[in-house]
Structure 1
């Protein structure tokens, strides 16, 4: 496997390759889909935001975990 896919800057992971960009865009697309799904079932703005923020934190945690694993340098 050709790593690293990401470059770590602080707590954020910036894509460095095509696969990294694909993972980022898939995460963003899922976040948009998730927001629209939650918004279609909610009754108020606060209901939408409360449910969406929790899911957004989960998406960010999964992206950060993938970024952490894919940004480490291979040991010789």
Structure 2
């Protein structure tokens, strides 16, 4: 049986951010984000998709909004 993560680890409107979970022998890696600057959100499964999600968040959301870039 797959172990569920506590709901408070997922990014929400009240607590935006990036969450990445590494894969195991039996599961693929997963990632989620919710941007506090523009409200965008996304989810990814698998190493390549999670890597792209982190790159998107880093370049276009999160700290990009805090710097005033977007």
The structure with more helix, counted as a fraction of residues: 1
Same fold per TM (> 0.5)?
A: no
- Tell me the TM-score range normalised by the shorter chain: 0.3 to 0.5
Task: With a CA cutoff of 8 Å and minimum separation of 6, indicate the structure with the bigger relative contact order.
Answer: 1
TM-score, normalised relative to structure 1: 0.34
